Chain A
Amino acid sequence: MTRINELPVTEDMNLVTAVTHTLRQEMQRDPSVRVMGYDIGPIGGVFRATEGLFDEFGPERVIDTPLSENGLLGVAVGMAMRGERPVIEMQFLAFMYNAWGQFIYNLANLHQKTGGAMKVPLTIRATFGGGIKPLPFHSDSTEAYLMHTPGVRVVCPSTPAQAKGLLAAAIRSDDPVVFLEHTKMYRSFREPVPVADYTLPLDKCRVVQEGSDLTLIAWGNMLHYSIAAAAAVAAATHASIEIIDMCSLAPLDVAPVLASVKKTGRCVIVHEARRTAGPGAEISALINEYALEYLKAPVKRVTAFDVFFPENQIEDAYLPSPGRIKSGIEAVLNYQF
């Protein structure tokens, strides 16, 4: 594994340009990588993540498909089991609901069903998350449905450089991988991204900031809100907060979480997914099962609510804000047994 900071030549990219750059690089590297989906050809995706690829690679490498998620997924699995490496674009994560059958009984199950004889080296790039006030169902954050399915990897980058390494690793992985791209983050900030190709591990979370009083776990856009909230708390209280970017959602990278909580004794999990049976429920359960004796306070989940993603006017009250996260941190920090 190359270390990113050893790669000197960089270019400033945001999340969406990092995705395009990585797709291009992987397509140049490996002719079996084919980008597939509807609205990914001449238009370059509704978010422009495949911009320019149709011109450069032509219609057999950038396959503009009919409008069917179930068809898209099923056909791509068929290609993947024959050695192609399809990278399909799910225009919005919620449209996966139309592809649930193919996702579970083919994409996720084929490897196990054939006793490991067949592989599905396929990547689903799906946009997800709230904050841009689009139409209903265009902001869903339902990663828990994905994590509940065996046989599939789920990763979620929170920076452009991380996106590049994780997407390249996803494409090169022989397992099916869902790669979650947060719509609010697409153009929210740029950072230098190494131009040379590199991968990052698909099964490792990332410690963003070390600390000793509380472990704060988040991913995607919520990581940025969590960093802001932690800074606000630290400024007021001098609390030392450890922040973990849970970019590897499935398989969940459990060991660093347990190690961190054993050190800090406190944990807050942040996600914009609904709370009940959300990813935080699993993380909290693991902490209670394996780190109970170290806990100095209950584990709290700062999340969205158990309702459908609401209308534009009230979505800000639904999504966790830095303020809500700060409240969660303070409640846990101030708790006395």
Chain B
Amino acid sequence: MGEKKWAEVRPSEDYFRILNPDGSVKDGAKASVPEVSREELLRWYEVLVETRTFEAMVLRLQRRGVLSVAASSRGEEACGLGAAAALQAGDWLFPAYRQLSAVLYWNAPVDRIMAGLMGNTPEHIREHLPLPPELPHSVNMMPYPIFLGAYIPLAVGCALADKLNGRKHVSLAFVGEGSTSEGDFHDGLNFAGVLESPCVIIVQNNQWSISVPASRQTAAATFAQKAVAHGLPHERVDGNDIFAVYDTVKKAVDRARAGGGATLIEAVTYRILDHNSADSSAVYRTEDEAEYWKTLDPVERFEKYLFNAGVLEQATKTAIEERAEKRLREEIDRGRAVPPTSPDDMFLHHLQGEPGWSVKHQRDELACELAGGNPFLDMTGEGVQ
């Protein structure tokens, strides 16, 4: 363990907030409390519970060696959910790996997520976990990019395609604050500004990029202000306040849909746990800040609000928790029950049509090898026997 660590700089709390950490509505913010139905509020709560439950289950499975790496969004769940809830069916969602709540809100199939975490190919998962033929109209969800920030230009282009064809859809993309240092982030913002792309980019600022604190990622005072140089409107919100996130993103999404162009939103939050299961944050940070941020927890805050507002009561809470636990357990079991992916899957979907001589030959080589033969006996190019 290192002696020297980067000091943490607590971000300014001079941002848009509706719900106080104790679940009360902030003075003067009454008018901003979004108009959301009772059912929708309970749906939000359920997604928060599901997100937390699923991620905890996955971390346990990782520790037991069932899967190789797992990341968690604990303490950040309001960012993904508040933003996703502001979208409409037909819109496009580009999550990173810390927005499970966003995809669960739009009913992403958990069994398929689980099978993916187990290292199966997408083709194989599709085959073994078919979706029901009649699915409710949903948002379009992209897988998350391995290359950080790489989908920001994609989201800008995706939205542009809708705009150029007169379709009233919006694209919404997430990026971590560390990833804003990548060139792709700036390229995307610049194009979004010039081409007036109907998209919303959310920087989920959880203060850490593995071991590098946000204060060493940029010399700018906020991540929101990165929009200024690109001529885009920007907002900075309490990312642990689901109302603040929802309200801000909704306005940005509505503006984009109405032809008003792109917005950059910084959602300020904190990564309570390790970067992922391969990380051990005790090496590079103390627990002091995490302790503080636990007092700002987005789920507890929202739960308190719901109790105060009479939307939630203990019996409903228990029922939601039990239902989530049961459903997720079943989904996970279904995902784990998928038979192993066939090695031949690796050759699929690189090109449409014929893959060419070499790939075809190599595919035969692998088949020969797996059948116990020697794949290198073809000395004429006429084919593997």
Contact: B2 with A71, CB < 8 Å? no
Kindly state whether residue A39 has any CB partner on chain B within 8 Å: yes
For residue B214, give the distance in angstroms from its CB to the closest CB of chain A: 10
Kindly state whether residue A290 has any CB partner on chain B within 8 Å: no
Stretch from B54-62, B87-95, B129-137, B375-383 that touches the partner? B375-383
Contact: B370 with A134, CB < 8 Å? no
Kindly state whether residue A95 has any CB partner on chain B within 8 Å: yes
Kindly state whether residue B346 has any CB partner on chain A within 8 Å: yes
For residue A67, give the distance in angstroms from its CB to the closest CB of chain B: 4
Assembly CA distance A146 to B244 (angstroms): 48
Q: Report the interface size for chain B: residues with CB under 8 A from the other chain.
A: 53
Kindly state whether residue B32 has any CB partner on chain A within 8 Å: no
Kindly state whether residue B359 has any CB partner on chain A within 8 Å: yes
Assembly CA distance A46 to B209 (angstroms): 12
Kindly state whether residue B326 has any CB partner on chain A within 8 Å: no
> Contacts A300-B376, A310-B121 known; A46 to B5 CB distance under 8 Å?
no
Contact: A332 with B376, CB < 8 Å? yes
B369: which A residues are within 8 A, CB to CB? 323-324, 327
Kindly state whether residue A318 has any CB partner on chain B within 8 Å: yes
* B365 nearest CB neighbor, chain A only: A305
Contact: B120 with A311, CB < 8 Å? yes
Task: Scan B342-353; emit 1 where CB is below 8 A from any A CB, else 0.
Answer: 110111001000
> Contacts A133-B119, A317-B370, A332-B376 known; A42 to B284 CB distance under 8 Å?
yes
For residue A65, give the distance in angstroms from its CB to the closest CB of chain B: 8
For residue A242, give the distance in angstroms from its CB to the closest CB of chain B: 19
A67: which B residues are within 8 A, CB to CB? 148, 178-179, 181-182, 209, 212, 217
Contact: B4 with A55, CB < 8 Å? yes
For residue B375, give the distance in angstroms from its CB to the closest CB of chain A: 6
Assembly CA distance A219 to B359 (angstroms): 24
Kindly state whether residue A307 has any CB partner on chain B within 8 Å: yes
Task: Scan A52-66; emit 1 where CB is below 8 A from any B CB, else 0.
Answer: 101100100000101
Contact: B5 with A317, CB < 8 Å? no
* A308 nearest CB neighbor, chain B only: B350
Assembly CA distance A137 to B147 (angstroms): 9
B279: which A residues are within 8 A, CB to CB? 46
Assembly CA distance A42 to B208 (angstroms): 13
Assembly CA distance A67 to B370 (angstroms): 42
A64: which B residues are within 8 A, CB to CB? 6, 211-212, 216
> Contacts A68-B182, A135-B146, A137-B147 known; A310 to B346 CB distance under 8 Å?
yes
Contact: B283 with A42, CB < 8 Å? yes
For residue B210, give the distance in angstroms from its CB to the closest CB of chain A: 5
Contact: B209 with A327, CB < 8 Å? no
Task: Scan A307-325; emit 1 where CB is below 8 A from any B CB, else 0.
Answer: 1101111100110000110
Kindly state whether residue B358 has any CB partner on chain A within 8 Å: yes
A138: which B residues are within 8 A, CB to CB? 146
For residue B190, give the distance in angstroms from its CB to the closest CB of chain A: 15
Assembly CA distance A327 to B373 (angstroms): 8
Assembly CA distance A327 to B347 (angstroms): 21
> Contacts A305-B362, A324-B369 known; A314 to B343 CB distance under 8 Å?
yes
* A330 nearest CB neighbor, chain B only: B374
B362: which A residues are within 8 A, CB to CB? 275, 305-306
Contact: B375 with A324, CB < 8 Å? yes
Contact: A317 with B181, CB < 8 Å? no
Kindly state whether residue B3 has any CB partner on chain A within 8 Å: yes
Tell me the B1-16 residues at the A interface (CB within 8 Å): 2-6
Contact: B370 with A313, CB < 8 Å? no
Kindly state whether residue B340 has any CB partner on chain A within 8 Å: yes
Contact: B284 with A43, CB < 8 Å? yes
Contact: A314 with B178, CB < 8 Å? no
A310: which B residues are within 8 A, CB to CB? 121, 343, 345-346
Kindly state whether residue A28 has any CB partner on chain B within 8 Å: no
Contact: A42 with B359, CB < 8 Å? no
A275: which B residues are within 8 A, CB to CB? 358, 362
Kindly state whether residue A192 has any CB partner on chain B within 8 Å: no
A332: which B residues are within 8 A, CB to CB? 376
Assembly CA distance A298 to B380 (angstroms): 10
Kindly state whether residue B86 has any CB partner on chain A within 8 Å: no
Kindly state whether residue A265 has any CB partner on chain B within 8 Å: no
Contact: A136 with B146, CB < 8 Å? yes
* B362 nearest CB neighbor, chain A only: A305
When the two chains form the complex, which single residue of A54, A68, A137, A331 contacts B146, counting CB atoms closer than 8 Å? A137
Contact: B4 with A135, CB < 8 Å? no
Assembly CA distance A83 to B121 (angstroms): 48
A54: which B residues are within 8 A, CB to CB? 2, 4
For residue A274, give the distance in angstroms from its CB to the closest CB of chain B: 9
Contact: B68 with A38, CB < 8 Å? no
* Chain A contacts to B: CB under 8 angstroms: 38-39, 41-44, 46, 51-52, 54-55, 58, 64, 66-71, 94-95, 97-98, 133-138, 275-276, 298, 300, 302, 305-308, 310-314, 317-318, 323-324, 327-328, 330-332, 335
List 20 contacting pairs A-B, 8 Å CB cutoff, sorted by A.
A39-B209, A41-B284, A42-B5, A42-B6, A42-B283, A67-B217, A68-B183, A71-B183, A135-B68, A305-B347, A307-B359, A311-B121, A311-B346, A312-B68, A312-B118, A312-B119, A314-B119, A314-B341, A332-B376, A335-B379
Beyond contacts A46-B278, A135-B69: 15 other A-B pairs, Cβ-Cβ < 8 A, are: A38-B178, A39-B212, A42-B211, A66-B178, A134-B69, A298-B379, A307-B346, A307-B359, A310-B121, A311-B341, A313-B120, A313-B121, A314-B341, A324-B375, A335-B379
* Chain B contacts to A: CB under 8 angstroms: 2-6, 68-69, 118-121, 146-148, 178-179, 181-184, 209-212, 216-218, 278-279, 283-285, 340-343, 345-347, 350, 358-359, 362-363, 365-366, 369-370, 374-377, 379
